[in-house]
A and B are shown apart, each in its own frame.
Chain A
Amino acid sequence: MEIRSPAFKENARAALDDPQLRHALEHVKSGFIVKRAMAAEALPEFEKLRDSSKAIKDETLANLDKYLEAYETKVTESGGHVHWAESAADARDIILKICQSVGARTVTKGKSMISEEIELNDFLEGNGVQPVETDLGEYIIQLRGEHPSHIIAPAVHLARSQVEADFRRVHTHLPVDRDLTEPVTLLSEARKVLRAKYFQADVGITGANFLVAETGTSVIVTNEGNGDLTQILPKVHIVLASIEKIVPTLSDLSQVLRVLARSATGQDMSVYTTLSTGPRRAGDPDGPEQYHVVLLDNGRSSMIGTEFQEMLRCIRCGACMNHCPVYHAVGGHTYGWVYPGPMGSVLTPSLIGVDKAGHLPNASTFCGRCEAVCPVRIPLPKMMRHWREREFSRRLNPATQRYGLKAWAFFARRPRLYRLATSIGIPVLSLFGGRGRFKSLPLAGGWTRHRDMPAPEGRTFMQEWKQREAQKQGARI
């Protein structure tokens, strides 16, 4: 996926000017937030579960090597194969080789952000293997040649009418006069079209919400059941997951699942929670003949032991973006790479470099709503600030900003000079603010382009205070 993060500001401008997008983003605001709040409210132990989920992930990360090894052992014991992929390219190659080993022409795919991260679809297509997305949102995105704009609702930036138009454009074998006015009719049409593909596919690729070290199990949660068909019907099932998806035990899994859906969609549980361990055993009624797990690092292990380690607790629920005023304003594509919203603003610089993704951790008001809802209590604003610190110490931010800040800090560190400068400057500024505010102001164009700037009242508080104290003294004498 082309990295468009450096053009964040231009992307934002275009997004803000798009009325259809604005309308679509209203759903993020109105839908997810209320539902999460109700789900959290309805479960008395919700806050405690957040604490224990955080603790589970912290413990996992502190011993990640141990749990990964244990996981591999269990997968192998159950007849599966674990493949270690250090980079995106490694992961792509491993997957292609598996596909080629069974002569695959078509692969079905469950929803996976890792697949986006390693740009799997283009690569497979370029090598003669046709990927078919089976999650409704992903399917729509694939038809449009786009990328997801949200980690759990990939097509949230689209209106129903746009999807209808896409379906009519692509599904030309269906009657033209069919009724597609209800979202559910779109879902059943996609289901019908996809049904045939499941049986054609030689390989099914899914992501994993969790990997359980204790049992070597991969876990997916979906609402459409597409993931189940993807992983059960083809001969080969490939699980594509990043290394931090591990949880130690099944009992840990059950705890984290209780916060995942509630935080994501406000459901108590997603409709389908599917656990798979190894290939089909003798006597199993169904299941794949081969079971592969591709474990992707792609820079994550280098986050361990740094101020960004906590980001690896993320369980990809999407709550942070659902509650983010910046995401609400500009949508997911503006962020310019795979992961949008607050979690992306922390993770993306780790994965593609802060030199390219520098806008992301800066484009936050630090309102803290993301951290307030994150089920595993990731201090997202704090980590965005850490990125700003790295940028500042590497002199990556614009020179005008640096010098402005340094000049300001020079005074802020020297109270006497600060007092002197402000006691001269502020009354002058106030003098010009004849109507109580400024419509435009030099050096404050960013502010006055959109709003007036209230003028200072007159003299500074300190000037007034000194005078008041002096008068008091005088009165006492």
Chain B
Amino acid sequence: MNQQTPQSRRVGLFVTCLVDLFRPSIGFASVKLLEDAGYTVDVPMAQTCCGQPAYNSGDREDTIAIARKTIETFEDYDYIVAPSGSCAGMLKKHYPALFKDGDWAERAKAFSAKVYELTSFLTDVAGVDHVDVVHPGSVTYHDSCSGLRELGIREQPRKLLRSVGGLEIKEMPESDVCCGFGGTFCVKYPDISNRIVEDKTDSIRQSGAKTLLAGDLGCLMNMAGKLQRQGSDVEVRHVAEVLAGMCDTPAIGRRKD
């Protein structure tokens, strides 16, 4: 299946700042999935954030400084994998655009070629087509915007989810519509963000699924926060937790009773 030598199987995990700070379980689930697929996973301590808050606020100088640090930290790995379409999109699609030419442009390009979002890495690079876990019940999957439109991630997580024992996918209407998170957008324009996430939670309810999954913690926190404010009992998790069979931690926004 995979013709690579062990030397070309070193993955640097880009944890993402939200996973680091809010939900380490997603990081550990990612490590497990990558290790199960036969990769050696390393987590360089010198990583912080991909720089999107600065980039999307128009602060190019800080973005470039952060991008250089990230590239330096990760460029020696064979692959750089992130459990987020948004951060992976930043690293893969936007870093190269930050450097016009010269040495850094070359480095950013070489770096970017090795960056993947977790589920697409598993299916498209590692050739994983099933996972050996059970998760009884129905789930619905939200396609986060950057993953979907910048990286073309749609089938990959669903393909893996279909191999999970006892799991049924119930699609929501308009799963490809934004949840209203948008990074700093949701705090700069809270009222608009709220309307958008209300529409999203309506769609989630319409699916009738017990669990909501997605590949981006920012979106998940937004949707979980709204569902819980509305009193919904839909459980919210990152897709990696289900795929790795690591759902013993309480769902997002929940705590053990």
Contacts and interface: CB of A to CB of B under 8 A. Distances in A.
Tell whether A and B belong to one assembly: yes
Contact of A415 (B45, B58, B180, B250): B45
Contacts of B125: none
Interface string B40-77: 00010111110101111111101001100100010000
B21 A409 contact: no
Contacts of B253: 436-437, 452, 454-455
A365 B229 contact: no
A457 B57 contact: no
Interface stretch (A212-220, A229-237, A265-273, A390-398): A390-398
B224 interface: yes
A184 to B, nearest CB: 30
Given A389-B60, A464-B24, A453 B185 contact: no
B187 interface: yes
B251 to A, nearest CB: 8
A454 B219 CA distance: 12
Given A412-B48, A412-B62, A435-B255, A365 B190 contact: no
Given A446-B187, A457-B23, A365 B182 contact: yes
A434 B250 CA distance: 13
B59 A9 contact: no
A363 B185 contact: yes
B225 interface: yes
Interface string A282-293: 000000000000
B177 interface: yes
A453 B226 CA distance: 9
Interface stretch (A120-128, A191-199, A323-331): A323-331
Given A330-B192, A369-B145, A452-B253, A325 B66 contact: no
B78 interface: no
A405 B53 contact: yes
Contact of B54 (A391, A412, A415, A426): A412
Size band of the interface chain A makes with B: 35 or more
A437 B253 CA distance: 5
Contacts of B254: 436-437
Interface residues of B, number: 69
Q: Which of B181, B183, B225 is most buried by chain A, counting CB atoms within 10 A of its CB?
A: B225
A418 B48 contact: yes
Q: Which of A387, A412, A461 is most buried by chain B, counting CB atoms within 10 A of its CB?
A: A461
Q: Which of A16, A366, A462 is most buried by chain B, counting CB atoms within 10 A of its CB?
A: A366
Interface in A447-469: 447, 449-462, 464-466
Contact of A465 (B43, B62, B193, B225): B43
A55 to B, nearest CB: 21
Contacts of B49: 412
B234 interface: no
A370 B182 CA distance: 15
Contact of A409 (B46, B54, B181): B54
A408 B55 CA distance: 13
A418 B70 CA distance: 14
A419 B45 contact: yes
Contacts of A391: 58
Given A326-B192, A415-B47, A457-B249, A368 B145 contact: yes
Interface string B219-233: 001101110110000
Q: Which of B15, B20, B226 is most buried by chain A, counting CB atoms within 10 A of its CB?
A: B20
Given A389-B58, A464-B28, A454 B221 contact: yes
Contacts of B73: 415
A422 interface: yes
Contact of B58 (A392, A456, A460): A392
Nearest to B176: A369
Contacts of A444: 187
Interface in B200-257: 221-222, 224-226, 228-229, 249-250, 252-255
A436 to B, nearest CB: 3
B187 A392 contact: no
Contacts of B28: 461, 464
A449 B22 CA distance: 20
Nearest to B22: A456
A372 interface: yes
A73 interface: no
B101 to A, nearest CB: 17
A413 interface: yes
A451 B225 contact: yes
Contacts of B57: 388, 392, 397, 401, 405
B90 to A, nearest CB: 11
A27 interface: no
Nearest to A396: B58
A190 to B, nearest CB: 33
Given A325-B177, A411-B48, A436-B253, A450 B182 contact: no
Contacts of A447: 186-187, 190, 225
A462 B15 contact: yes
A462 B192 contact: no
A461 B27 contact: yes
A362 interface: yes
Nearest to B30: A461
Contact of A450 (B24, B53, B190): B190
B225 A412 contact: no
30 contacts: A12-B189, A12-B191, A329-B195, A362-B185, A364-B182, A366-B185, A368-B149, A390-B58, A393-B58, A405-B57, A405-B59, A406-B62, A412-B48, A413-B48, A413-B66, A426-B22, A434-B255, A449-B190, A449-B194, A450-B190, A451-B197, A451-B225, A452-B226, A452-B228, A454-B22, A454-B253, A456-B23, A459-B24, A460-B21, A461-B28
Given A365-B193, A367-B178, 11 more contacts: A326-B189, A363-B185, A385-B58, A393-B60, A412-B53, A437-B254, A450-B229, A454-B23, A456-B21, A464-B24, A466-B45
Q: Which 6 A-B pairs have the closest CB atoms?
A: A365-B182, A388-B58, A436-B255, A392-B58, A451-B225, A367-B178
